[in-house]
Chains A and B, each alone.
Chain A
Amino acid sequence: MDIFSPGFLNYLISLGTMSGIYAVLCLGLNLQWGFAGLFNAGIAAFFAIGAYTTAILTTPESPNYLGGFGLPIVLAWPIAMLLSGVIAWAIGRICLRLRGDYLAMATIGIAEVIRLLIKNEAWLTAGTRGIPNIARPFEGLPSTWNHLAFMGLVMALVAIIYWAAERAWASPWGRTMRAIRDSDMAAAAIGKDVTQFRVEAFVLGAMVMALGGALSAHYFKFLGLSATEPMMVTFLVWVMLIVGGSGNNRGAILGALIIWIIWSATELLTNRLPGEWITRTSYIRVLLIGILLQVVLQRFAKGLVPERPPRMIDDKPESR
């Protein structure tokens, strides 16, 4: 393979963009799981809310679905995040006062309901047809450059979220969140409103996930039912965060990069196999990723980049 060929460059750019989008999702999940210990089994729901909101708001008029608002991205994305946050808030209010398993079950439910809505309410979402012609920012630029610019945008957003999440991690808010995660009884005993803190983390995470969905919609320029597929979104993001190291924002980004490279590289390999084997190997791939998850959970529970207590600006360096 000629590493200087435009094809390879484009491959690298797509790799960077996709892992960037996944990094956004991972950072969102880290806010929920890493910070607050909340198990969200419906990442796909918040991803799809983000993707469909921005697609509907920014695309031109179409007889197939509710469109034609023609909003610019700078408006559409915040709206998408807001909507996702509101839904997360409602779910969180109901479930987060209960044991974690209830949230897990309810998020499965919300993901399923969102999937049904997208599938059945074709007037709104175009249903199985999907929404085409979603504009990608920088499309005016020549081919490789516009890909590059979009990757730059994704990277910039990852950087901003990372920075904000790191600040949050070191803040009193982050400290309270970890205290709640590690022992909600103890946190409640010192007078913290445990449910309120959890709802905050859950809503923030869901908003970041919606941004990931929006980015993905504009990157692929087409949005269909596959966006609600639990496998590609929910499961992969979980594997990324666990492998990278939950509770560590750097781990979240690293996990997204590594797992996406493995995922897409194996796809590259298996695509060369004869027809029937392509489908078969795609299941082997899921199986192997599942085993990887289990191995990491059991043997390297902390992930590649373990969680660390934040360095406090006003603390003396720890003497060890």
Chain B
Amino acid sequence: MIALSDFINLYLLPGLVVGCIYALGAIGISLLFGILRFAHFAHGDMMTLGAYLAIIFTANFDWSPYAALPITVIGTALVALLLDRAFYKPFRRSAGIVTVIASFGVMLMLRSAIQLIWGVDVKTYDIGIRFPMEFGMLKIAPRQVTIVLVTAALVIALHLFLSRTRLGKAMRAVSDDPDLARVSGINVEQVVRWTWIIGAGLAAAGGVFIGIQTKVHPNMGWDLLLPLFAAAVLGGIGRPYGAVAGGLAIGLCQELATYPWFSEEPFIAPGYKPAVAFSVMVIMLIWRPTGLFRGRAF
């Protein structure tokens, strides 16, 4: 058996960090589903885009990726607004599933554009080696702390936005009932724009965190899509807080599933991590499609 310290350092903490990253992506999927009523297939590639935008600053100006984070978030949000205007807005009044097809197309366009601009090679941010901090038996890398803390701060900010501001409340109102929101005089298009800004901005932050934690490559968005959807379904689609819980749960499940629970071998071979997310999603769809936090029932 592996020592408790290894369990924490090699499985629990990485699971938490991955969970934070998934949470940041899943919030956007959940919000967009609540407001625009479609599953945004290009969301993983929004994260990829964020990760690559940061490379502009880390590679050319020698910035730290943390310094590049705000401008990356803004840049990705702007791209999302443009994509919405060009490819999603024309379908506001059509059946949601047509928008899903459009987002499927956007997903591939984004990816090929990224491949065209940055090439297909794996990239890193070149942060240099930082030694982990040791607390007794715990070994925590500074970047893990940063990722968890920044994610927590972003989630708290989102909470304050949704519960305290006029626009945040309007966002919840549109998610609750778009027709009633419209006849109440809420400017639904304004709400939609802010949903994109928040969803894409958080996704970009998640993408940069992936780059900080591991590496960046053009297909990472596709690999993220399944865990993101699973997290959104687990948390109850249309529920941003549920998405946070769902993201953390999926991240932890994926990492902990590779722990040698019953023998010397990993319980699930690491190559099958995405299958863990899929299993969770299928179980939820069978058992409780509205998610743990009672999202929208369809």
- Whether A113 lies near B101 (C-beta < 8 A) is no
- Whether B41 lies near A102 (C-beta < 8 A) is no
- Whether A290 lies near B106 (C-beta < 8 A) is yes
- Whether A290 lies near B233 (C-beta < 8 A) is no
- Whether B278 lies near A109 (C-beta < 8 A) is yes
Chain A residues, Cβ within 8 Å of B237: 101
- Whether A109 lies near B230 (C-beta < 8 A) is yes
CB-CB contacts of A250-292 with B at 8 A, as 1s and 0s?
Answer: 0000000000000000000000000000011001111101110
- Whether A101 lies near B230 (C-beta < 8 A) is no
Contact residues of B: prevailing secondary structure: helix
B171 CB, nearest partner CB in chain A, Å: 19
Q: Which of B101, B112, B269 contacts A242 (CB 8 A)?
A: B101
- Whether B105 lies near A290 (C-beta < 8 A) is yes
B274 CB, nearest partner CB in chain A, Å: 5
Q: A120-B269, A280-B116 are in contact. Are A112 and B274 (CB under 8 A)?
A: yes
B180 CB, nearest partner CB in chain A, Å: 20
CB-CB contacts of A207-249 with B at 8 A, as 1s and 0s?
Answer: 0000000000000000000000011000100110010000000
- Whether A284 lies near B281 (C-beta < 8 A) is no
A116: CB under 8 A from chain B?
A: yes
B-binding segment of A91-99, A139-147, A186-194 = A91-99
Q: Which of A101, A231, A290, A298 contacts B100 (CB 8 A)?
A: A101
Q: A41-B41, A109-B229 are in contact. Are A287 and B101 (CB under 8 A)?
A: no
Chain B residue with the shortest CB-CB distance to A236:
B108
- Whether B90 lies near A298 (C-beta < 8 A) is yes
A263 CB, nearest partner CB in chain B, Å: 13
- Whether B115 lies near A94 (C-beta < 8 A) is no
- Whether A39 lies near B282 (C-beta < 8 A) is no
Chain B residues, Cβ within 8 Å of A41: 41, 104
A297: CB under 8 A from chain B?
A: yes
A293: CB under 8 A from chain B?
A: yes
- Whether B281 lies near A297 (C-beta < 8 A) is no
Chain A residues, Cβ within 8 Å of B39: 101, 104-105
Which residues of A approach B to under 8 Å, CB–CB? 37, 39, 41, 94-95, 98-102, 104-106, 108-110, 112-113, 116, 119-120, 230-231, 235, 238-239, 242, 279-280, 283-287, 289-291, 293-294, 297-298, 301
Q: How far is the CA of A128 from the CA of B16 in the complex (A)?
A: 31
- Whether B275 lies near A297 (C-beta < 8 A) is no
Q: How far is the CA of A249 from the CA of B75 in the complex (A)?
A: 43
What are 10 A-B pairs at a CB distance below 8 A?
A41-B104, A94-B282, A94-B286, A101-B39, A104-B41, A104-B100, A109-B226, A109-B229, A120-B271, A290-B109
Q: Which of B9-53 contact A (CB under 8 A)?
A: 33, 38-39, 41
Chain A residues, Cβ within 8 Å of B87: 294
**Inter-chain residue pair count (beta carbon < 8 A):** 116
- Whether B33 lies near A109 (C-beta < 8 A) is no
Q: How far is the CA of A113 from the CA of B108 in the complex (A)?
A: 20
Which residues of B approach A to under 8 Å, CB–CB? 33, 38-39, 41, 86-87, 90-91, 95-98, 100-102, 104-106, 108-109, 111-113, 115-116, 120, 222, 225-226, 229-230, 233, 237, 269, 271-272, 274-275, 277-278, 281-282, 285-286, 289, 298
B74 CB, nearest partner CB in chain A, Å: 24
Q: A101-B97, A102-B289, A106-B282 are in contact. Are A294 and B108 (CB under 8 A)?
A: no
Chain B residues, Cβ within 8 Å of A105: 39, 229, 233, 281
B26 CB, nearest partner CB in chain A, Å: 12
Chain A residues, Cβ within 8 Å of B95: 37
B219 CB, nearest partner CB in chain A, Å: 10
Q: Which of B41, B112, B230 contacts A286 (CB 8 A)?
A: B112
- Whether B281 lies near A109 (C-beta < 8 A) is yes
Chain B residues, Cβ within 8 Å of A120: 269, 271-272
Q: A98-B289, A100-B96, A109-B226 are in contact. Are A291 and B272 (CB under 8 A)?
A: no
Chain A residues, Cβ within 8 Å of B115: 283
Q: How far is the CA of A110 from the CA of B101 in the complex (A)?
A: 18
Q: How far is the CA of A33 from the CA of B216 in the complex (A)?
A: 35
- Whether A116 lies near B101 (C-beta < 8 A) is no
- Whether B112 lies near A116 (C-beta < 8 A) is no
Q: How far is the CA of A112 from the CA of B285 in the complex (A)?
A: 17
Q: How far is the CA of A239 from the CA of B278 in the complex (A)?
A: 26
19 further contact pairs, Cβ within 8 A, besides A102-B289, A116-B272, A294-B86: A37-B97, A39-B100, A41-B41, A99-B298, A100-B96, A100-B97, A104-B97, A108-B41, A108-B225, A108-B229, A109-B282, A230-B222, A235-B108, A238-B104, A289-B108, A290-B106, A291-B109, A297-B91, A298-B90
- Whether A283 lies near B116 (C-beta < 8 A) is yes
B90 CB, nearest partner CB in chain A, Å: 5
- Whether B285 lies near A98 (C-beta < 8 A) is yes
- Whether B298 lies near A102 (C-beta < 8 A) is yes
Q: Which of A37, A99, A119, A284 contacts B116 (CB 8 A)?
A: A284
Q: A231-B108, A294-B87 are in contact. Are A279 and B275 (CB under 8 A)?
A: no
Q: How far is the CA of A120 from the CA of B225 in the complex (A)?
A: 20
Q: Which of A98, A116, A238, A280 contacts B274 (CB 8 A)?
A: A116
